[in-house]
A and B are shown apart, each in its own frame.
Chain A
Amino acid sequence: MKKALSAPNLIIFGVLMFAFVVLQLGLFPGNYPMKLTILYLLALCALFGLGMSFRQHLAGKLLIAAVLVVLPFVSATAGQAWVRILDFAILYAFLALGLNIVVGLAGLLDLGYVAFYAVGAYTWALLASPHFGLHLPFWVILPTGALVACCFGVLLGSPTLKLRGDYLAIVTLGFGEIVRIFMNNLNAPINITNGPQGITLIDPVAIGGFKFSGATQIFGYTLSGPQKYYFLLLVLAILVVIINQRLQNSRIGRAWQAIREDEVAAKAVGINTRNLKLLAFAMGASFGGMAGGVFAAMQGFVSPESFSLNESIMILAMVVLGGMGHIPGVILGAVLLSILPEVLRYGVGPLQTQLFGKMLVDPESLRLLVFGLALVLVMRFKPAGLWPSPERQRELVEGRTEVKP
């Protein structure tokens, strides 16, 4: 019973109730099938939440798997745009999990994470586009992108080893900007990145002859590009989750946690803090690089403006909002923060026109407002994030009832 009342379930329940009220009142814009899709989606969310509550059991796992498989098909009934939104939600979850290694486990506040995402994306773009005339296969580029990003992680990590907290944040923030500005300006004297115009016509992911862009017929069913990418991303994301989980409970993971808790004590118990911090940067960066590669292939286009400071902060907010250091929490944060703006764009804009006859507040500015409000509310009521790890939760409870002798 206590489990069923856990944070994610309550959130899902709240959203569901809200949606029912809105639908009943006929306030929500759109035609009837659209409403039906939304209803289906919410039902899937609820089923997913149920599955998560019993994820230790096989039935729960099967339920989660079933929901994840059905999801892109249900979303498609509202348009392929929604499948793309799902793709991005997973991509962000992937990124957030990478950042979680650096911030959540090792406790190194990295505000320039997007730099590695950019490095991965540009690696893919340069190795698989007409820009240099290279068209390498995906199994070459993806590891290369991860490796290049990893090298950048070590490169950017090494000068920051003695820095902590705010100082580290400022330096990494600077690095993030440096990488972006480099991408912006590396079109002269030799044109490497094509500057602000970015690189176009990037090859999609292709395994053998199977391309992930465009529709294909499989067993008489048409699978769209975004739907194929959805499954690709899902597989990658599951891999990252497994790696994250393994890391967390490993010797390395424990050492990272020790560094996060107290660096001097970590040194005193014999942890090589220098190497382990570099390893955290490198691991986080390679995940960022991989996500960047898939991003470039999915979009078919990269330009420096996709990798602004805003992006870094967004990814960090996903980690913090969801629950630092807790894998399901980080995923929840990523999914919520990547889908929320789209819901605002497709929902609130039309809703305003329907209610007031005209657009009063631009959904884009509303996005920041809602985003800010969400952060403030979470910090006030759930300081450890929406779905903190059991240890963090325990700490908050114990901390409150503690009596010092």
Chain B
Amino acid sequence: MLEVTGLHVAYGGIQAVRSITFHVNQGEMVALIGANGAGKTTTLKAIARVIDAVGGDVHFCGEKIDRLAPHDIIRRGIALVPEGRGVFPRLSVAENLAMGAFVRDDKAAIAADLAKVYGYFPRLKERESQLAGTLSGGEQQMLAIGRALMSRPKMLLLDEPSMGLAPIMVQKIFEVVRAVAADGMTILLIEQNAKLALESSQRAYVMESGEITVHGDSAQLLDDPKVRAAYLGE
């Protein structure tokens, strides 16, 4: 479904992502794990076209999307949940979710999706009229995921959903992420919490200083002594 070939991204002279190649199949949850500064977020931003790539191709459902404008990416069905959540702090929860459906105008379907999001995150329903900036970190993460779902995407790009959250909140978020995946969503997940990411996903790629060093089935990687040593703290 998503094919990334030789993607190359640089900030000025610094090579953040060096010619990486990977793919995500339909209905799959794929994790991209690695240490801080490995280039994971950069990869995701380049796919979502929030930043420009230097080289490489990105195809989505057979279409070349690496020259599209960022606001066209979401119309093709890719929704990014940005790092650090990126909710609109001075808009209410309901308004934030409504913004997620910005590119759509089918009111009935939007209402149905809103009900679905509230089904995944009952907490958001409770806080509907509260300003997003006053939510807790975990609730903001829920809101960011919910907002992305409101565009009825074919694929979700999740950037560190566990960042800065209490363990119990991380569990809750991942329960929903798995539920969303179980409902058929294709997900590309970026995580520093490698154990969690590997346990949730089917396949995984390990990034190190801008390159993909290891890839394989998540279950296998969980047992890989090298991965265990480097990312699971053993």
Contact = CB atoms under 8 A, between A and B. Distances in A.
Given A271-B71, A405-B166, A265 B134 contact: no
A273 B50 CA distance: 11
| Chain B CB within 10 Å, residue with most, of A261, A271, A399 | A261
Given A254-B99, A398-B134, A265 B87 contact: yes
| Chain B CB within 10 Å, residue with most, of A257, A269, A404 | A269
Interface residues of B, number: 39
| Chain A CB within 10 Å, residue with most, of B73, B90, B91, B95 | B90
Given A257-B88, A258-B91, A264-B50, A269 B134 contact: no
Nearest to A274: B69
A262 B134 contact: no
A258 B130 contact: no
| Chain B CB within 10 Å, residue with most, of A251, A268, A269, A272 | A268
Nearest to B83: A264
Contacts of A254: 95, 98-99, 102
Is the interface on chain A under 10, 10 to 19, 20 to 34, or 35 or more residues? Answer: 20 to 34
A164 interface: no
B151 A269 contact: yes
A257 B90 CA distance: 9
Given A258-B88, A262-B88, A402-B134, A267 B50 contact: yes
Q: What secondary structure prevails in chain A residues at the interface with B?
A: helix
Interface stretch (A63-71, A126-134, A389-397): A389-397
A395 B99 contact: no
A91 to B, nearest CB: 30
A262 B82 CA distance: 11
A40 B147 CA distance: 54
B17 interface: no
A269 B147 contact: yes
Nearest to A401: B134
A265 B86 contact: yes
B100 interface: yes
A270 interface: yes
Contacts of B95: 254
A345 B86 CA distance: 49
A264 B147 contact: no
A270 B75 contact: yes
A258 B99 contact: yes
A391 B50 contact: no
A267 B91 contact: no
Interface string B78-98: 011110001111111001001
| Chain B CB within 10 Å, residue with most, of A261, A264, A270, A402 | A270
B126 to A, nearest CB: 13
A255 interface: yes
Contacts of B80: 268
Contact of B103 (A258, A261, A269, A394): A269
B6 interface: no
B223 to A, nearest CB: 35
Contacts of B82: 264-265, 268
Contacts of B151: 269-270
29 contacts: A251-B102, A254-B98, A255-B102, A258-B91, A258-B99, A261-B89, A262-B89, A264-B86, A265-B87, A265-B144, A267-B48, A267-B70, A268-B70, A268-B79, A268-B81, A268-B86, A268-B148, A269-B74, A269-B100, A269-B102, A269-B147, A270-B75, A270-B103, A272-B69, A273-B70, A395-B131, A395-B133, A398-B130, A398-B131
